[in-house]
Structure 1
Amino acid sequence: MDYSSSPPGSGPVTERGERTRRKLIRAAETELGEKGFYKASISSITQRAGVAQGTFYLYYRSKEEIFRALVEHMNRGMRHHLSVAIAEAQTRLEAERLGLESFMRFCREHAHLYRIVMEAQFVDPEMHQWFFRTLADGYAKRLEAAQQRGEIRSGDPHAQALALIGIAFFMGQRDWIWEQPPTDAESLATAMAIIESGLSPLSPQK
């Protein structure tokens, strides 16, 4: 993932300082993603980054802080990735299909960050809630707009958003947490059939 857009942290505001911060955050992504929060260590993060252990504290006060930075970066990176993916969609249902396909690709490329977000529910419940709340709030606004255009059925857009997020994240969990066979075209088509059935406008009753 591109870390040129800085996750939260401090440290020297110089080009060299920014390079060091990126090294630390990439190393933390791998260390925390592979070992989990409780088994990962700051010393291992700095070893992976190739910097002195004391350097870590110029940028992050604790393992908890760099963990939160990674959750936030996952949130921002994923939302940007999905926005680009659905930009050319002509309808909301087309956007849902493109978005689901894009989400699965994104998680495949950033499996460590996916695991970190999932673990956040135990490590930092407030950050975990923030991650999904911001996703759901933005998603609900787009769904509400689609309802007003008559593209999808009416209803509580926030409930719709939560249901759709649940489908995507559990499909990702099957692939990268449960280590089941990768999601294939048939699996995506099945999920989309459920989504289309749930969102398509109801036919007028005769």
Structure 2
Amino acid sequence: MEKTESLRSAGKFGVRQIAIIGMLSAISIMLGLSGFGFIPLPTAKATIMQIPVIIGAILEGPLVGAMIGLLFGIFSIIQSLTTPNILSFAFINPLVSVLPRVLIGITAYYAYKWTWSKNEGVRIGVGAIVGSLTNTLGVLTMIYLLYAVQFAQTRGIDVSAATKVIYGIALVNGVPEAIIAMAISVPVIMAIKKRYKN
């Protein structure tokens, strides 16, 4: 464990960290390609593609989480170019598709680390919720800041209504996504941490 901490602080990756980055990045990409990364809800689709980033960050630190998020973001750009949809014009911009995904790992890790609780499940849950909301709010905020006019045009609404629509999506998608991220991340991370100890 001390060796892992020293690698984190030095900004270097050990064999285990590299393996985890590759494995969790592949899971995130496969979730997107297969369609299993989206859970249908009555009003929208909730994504779970941020969960591998959260798991990697809480288990191995913010640099590992950021790397998984980086690969997740790059995949988003490639997907937007190869299978475009009405919002692909925004997702080909790294500020929309990459930056928020890199930040998932950083915010999830530090929310976990700085949560004042002796209950490990609570700390992991807080990290998962913060990481998931970073994805939802980060992506939608960048769309609003950079592409509000184009977003309004694609939706057939007035630009003045773009704020309500964008943050309405954040509320409708963000809350279920955060709950799902917490529900999946807590038992998975607890199980892996238990195996680490053994």
Q: What is the TM-score of this pair, normalised by structure 1? A: 0.45
| Larger Rg belongs to | 1
Q: What is the TM-score of this pair, normalised by structure 2? A: 0.46
Higher helix fraction: Structure 1 or Structure 2? Answer: 2
